[in-house]
């Protein structure tokens, strides 16, 4: 029996003592079952949604490295308040990385699997910060000829989130959108998608430089929440677009409440009669991220027709069903170099992803700093 | 041409100077159109939902009376912060009183109208704090023989709200309920309804004496938000009932967030696998009142499957449509002396309703203090 081939995988562990531990582990490359393939992962983005699992809420000012350069172990302290929400994962060594792309290097005996041999595919399913990922053939999205793994690395999380926002808008009877933290990679993608599909979009950013980024790519409505005129600017943009649905990546603070208030003020402009319960226009904000982990504060000066809720891509895809979801994926593959193209500030290897200076940068989740991991970089 | 008959009506005006003015006005009794009837109103409750329109957010420590006993004008100051939400009603003399009951004293020529002559009916539609109310015959709910106007005065707001909560639970796929400010007239009614229909109900109250009131009428799950063990007690009651939907009359503060947190903790008990996005159980809180006018604070430690929103009876009835709404009304009429019976602490005339000592009591909206206005009391 030949020796089992091995591959490196990034692991994250939250220890019950309140310590995060990041390390690289050598794991066997599985033999694919008949309906499975093994993908050599060559590109996997570090999305904000990866960092929650990877960094476990740790205080990044406390990171320490030990071990050798190729076998580093990074540790950091997790504030006690964060540990409460970690109960379900304590002392488990978890693989990380939601999505990625690479080349199929071995395949099971089923036709659907064998047909993928040598193809460049995009995959979603966790454990992508690894040299190899064994996965069902049906979960592979074949990329168009001439697409590199780096170009196809972000086929799911951001593109499907952007498409999911637009589909949610349609399903719930709204006609235009508001988006916060709008200069993010996702925000720029949503902006391109809405321009392409002729959908009104109000982009809310926190800095003038982010407004400039969006205007440079053709955004029509950009409002800066840091400006003194924010509430008036937002109201005007809401009147202009008719947007009554917002997706909020911030979560904490007063922003969701401000959006609902401005939507209500925009609706009241067309109301003919006084009602102390406010307009009958339904106003909805979905929180899909938590860039501000603080509490959400609602002043409820927006009548009674409103909703606030969590929005999660996986729940949305489950709701629309596999056929509708597959159509969205196929659109992403077709437009991966245009509408759904992603940009990265840096490509790193698995070992480089554990360098403290790199963690300090990508751990900030700041607009314009997006990393791509190439798990096979520097490994021959 | 005979002199037109007149009737008294209570009016509320918010003056642009920030002053509330309450008065009685003499208005002509309209001739009913063919499909209308005129009801001599003999009983109309002061619901919390009436007080918003009637008192216009005024500071009740500033009430003053002028004029004679039978022709009193009451004034009070409205805090500047409240005036913002009054913009739509400034300087309009508005009638008040959502619902009531009385006897049909004249009818239009249509058969449906004439059939109601002399009948005791319950009506909804505003302007009920008046001796006479002209209304479409189709809006009258005929009360069963032997029902007095006082017994039928509260056929709509509380009974339909209680039924609306239960129907919303069914429509949105939940199987049990949570209710706050649960010892209120509405809360006691909801408790009777849930016992009758075999629905699990978690009653949240703020004082031990309110818990006692509910237990005395057979409530199974009562938790006191003032107790040190509140969060644990709530969690246990949620596990026992499986409630994932709450109706909250408080609005401000942390209660909605605490309910969602406890629902998530209850759901996590049965979860088999760690997910940092929390359970897939959808948890919903609807705010239908604002006993605490302060901001709502959400700490978002309840995963991503959650919703918070406003809930308004009129919007709910519109959503289910006229036929379904009529079925609910007919059930109320059938059970008006049992499930949907209301209790009042005092009956007052229109003139008595403007006495400062009475306003000081009913204006507090405290559990156990509910007034009934009889607009034809003391008028012969």
Identify which of A251, A275, A305 has the shortest CB distance to residue B310.
Answer: A305
Which of B89, B274, B303 is closest, CB to CB, to A89? B274
Q: What is the pLDDT of residue A1?
A: 46
**B334 or B67, higher pLDDT:** B334
Name residue, tokens 């391109």.
Answer: A192
Residues of A (51-80) whose Cβ lies below 8 Å from B: 52-53
Which of B368, B353, B347, B335 lies closest to B122, judged by CA?
A: B335
Element (H, E) at A297: strand A292-298
Among A97, A265, A301, A309, the strongest candidate for a mutation testing the B interface, having the largest count of B CBs within 10 A, is A309
What is the C-alpha to C-alpha distance for residues A41 and A120, in angstroms, rounded to an integer? 10
Partners of B287 on chain A (C-beta within 8 Å) are 300
Mean of all residue pLDDT scores within chain B: 94
Instruction: Provide the 8-state DSSP code for B5.
Output: P
Q: CB-based contact (8 Å) between B306 and chain A?
A: yes
Element containing residue B348 per DSSP (H, E): strand B346-348
Q: Tell me whether strands B221-224 and B176-180 are parallel, antiparallel or unpaired.
A: unpaired
pLDDT at position B272: 66
Closest approach of B168 to chain A, Cα-based (Å): 15
pLDDT at residue B273 in the model: 67
Q: How far is A370 from chain B (nearest CA, A)?
A: 22
Closest Cα of chain B to A203: distance in Å? Answer: 23
Token pair, residue B21, equals 């003015």
In angstroms, the separation between the Cα of residue B116 and the nearest Cα of chain A is 31
Chain A contact set for B47 (CB, 8 A): none
Per-residue pLDDT of chain A (380 residues; tens, 9 = 90+): 456 789 999 999 999 999 999 999 999 999 999 999 999 999 999 998 899 899 999 999 999 999 886 788 999 999 998 898 788 899 999 999 999 999 999 999 999 999 999 999 999 989 999 999 999 999 999 999 999 999 999 999 999 999 999 999 999 999 999 999 999 989 999 999 999 999 999 999 999 999 999 999 999 999 999 999 999 999 999 999 999 999 999 999 999 999 999 999 999 887 666 677 889 999 999 999 998 989 999 999 999 999 999 999 999 999 999 999 999 999 999 999 999 999 899 999 999 999 999 999 999 877 778 899 999 987 64
Residues of A in contact with B88 (CB under 8 A): 268, 271, 273-276
What is the H or E stretch that residue B237 is in? helix B230-241
Check CB contact under 8 Å for B295 and A296. Answer: no
Q: Which chain B residue has the Cα nearest residue A308?
A: B308
Question: How are beta strands A245-248 and A221-224 bridged, if at all?
Answer: unpaired
Does A268 contact B88 at a Cβ distance shorter than 8 Å?
Answer: yes
Is the Cβ pair A300, B275 closer than 8 Å?
Answer: no
**How many percent of chain B have pLDDT more than 70?**
97
Distance, CA of B181 to CA of A302 (rounded, Å): 22
pLDDT over 90 at B62, yes or no: yes
What are the tens digits of pLDDT across the range B75-101?
A: 999 999 889 878 889 999 999 999 999
Residue whose structure tokens are 């003038």: A208
Whether residue A119 contacts residue A330, with contact meaning beta carbons closer than 8 Å, is answered with: no
pLDDT tens track for B289-306: 998 989 999 999 999 999
Give the dihedral of Cα atoms B183, B185, B186, B189; nearest 10 deg: 90
Q: Is B28 on the interface with A (CB under 8 A)?
A: no
Is A274 in contact with B88 (Cβ distance < 8 A)? yes
**Burial grade of B129 (CB within 10 A; 0-12, 13-18, 19 or more):** buried
Query: Looking at the predicted structure, is the pLDDT value of residue B224 above 60?
Result: yes
CA geometry: angle B342, B347, B349, nearest 5 deg: 135
Please state, in angstroms and rounded to a whole number, the distance separating the CA atoms of residues B53 and B86: 10
Nearest to B303 among A306, A310, A314 (CB): A310
Q: Is the pLDDT of residue B110 over 60?
A: yes
Question: Which of 208-247 (A) contact B at CB < 8 A?
Answer: none
| pLDDT score, position A34 | 97
pLDDT at B380: 47
Token couple for B41: 């109103």
Strands B36-45 and B132-136: antiparallel
Q: What ipTM was estimated for this complex?
A: 0.86
pLDDT score, position A58: 95
Given a cut of 90, whether residue B347 has pLDDT beyond it is yes
- With 50 as the cut, is the pLDDT of residue B1 above it? no
Q: How far is B311 from chain A (nearest CA, A)?
A: 6
Residues B216-220 have a mean pLDDT of: 96
For residue B186, what pLDDT band results from cuts at 50, 70 and 90? very high
């Amino acid at each position: 029996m030949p020796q089992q081939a091995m591959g490196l995988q990034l692991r994250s562990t939250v220890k019950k003592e309140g310590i995060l531990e990041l390390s690289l582990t050598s794991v066997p490359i599985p033999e694919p079952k008949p309906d499975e393939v093994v993908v050599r992962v060559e590109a996997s983005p570090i999305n904000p949604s990866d960092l929650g699992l990877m960094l476990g809420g740790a205080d990044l000012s406390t990171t320490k490295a030990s071990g050798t350069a190729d076998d580093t172990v990074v540790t950091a302290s997790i504030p006690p308040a964060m540990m409460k929400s970690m109960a379900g994962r304590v002392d488990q060594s978890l693989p990380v990385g939601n999505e990625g792309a690479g080349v199929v290097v071995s395949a099971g005996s089923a036709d659907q699997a064998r047909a993928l041999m040598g193809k460049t595919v995009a995959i979603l399913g966790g454990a992508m910060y690894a040299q190899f990922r064994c996965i069902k053939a049906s979960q592979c999205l074949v990329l168009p000829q001439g697409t590199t793994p780096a170009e196809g690395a972000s086929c799911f999380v951001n593109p499907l989130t952007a498409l999911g926002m637009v589909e949610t808008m349609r399903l719930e009877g709204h006609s235009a959108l508001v988006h916060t933290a709008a200069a993010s990679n996702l925000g720029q993608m949503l902006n391109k998608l809405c321009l392409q599909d002729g959908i009104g979009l109000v982009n809310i950013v926190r800095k003038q430089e982010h407004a400039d980024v969006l205007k440079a790519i053709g955004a029509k409505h950009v409002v800066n929440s840091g400006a003194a005129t924010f509430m008036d600017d937002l109201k005007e943009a809401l009147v202009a677009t008719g947007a009554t649905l917002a997706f909020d990546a911030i979560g904490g603070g007063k922003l969701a409440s401000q959006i609902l208030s401005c939507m209500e003020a925009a609706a009241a402009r067309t109301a003919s009669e006084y009602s102390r319960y406010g307009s009958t226009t339904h106003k909805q904000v979905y929180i899909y991220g938590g860039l501000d982990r603080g509490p959400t504060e609602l002043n409820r000066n927006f009548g009674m027709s409103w909703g606030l809720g969590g929005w999660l891509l996986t729940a949305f895809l489950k709701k629309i069903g596999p056929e509708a979801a597959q159509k969205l994926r196929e659109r992403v593959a077709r437009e991966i170099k245009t509408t759904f193209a992603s940009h990265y500030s840096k490509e790193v290897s698995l070992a480089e992803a554990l360098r403290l200076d790199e963690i300090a940068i990508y751990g900030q989740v700041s607009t314009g700093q997006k990393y791509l991991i190439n798990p096979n970089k520097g490994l021959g």
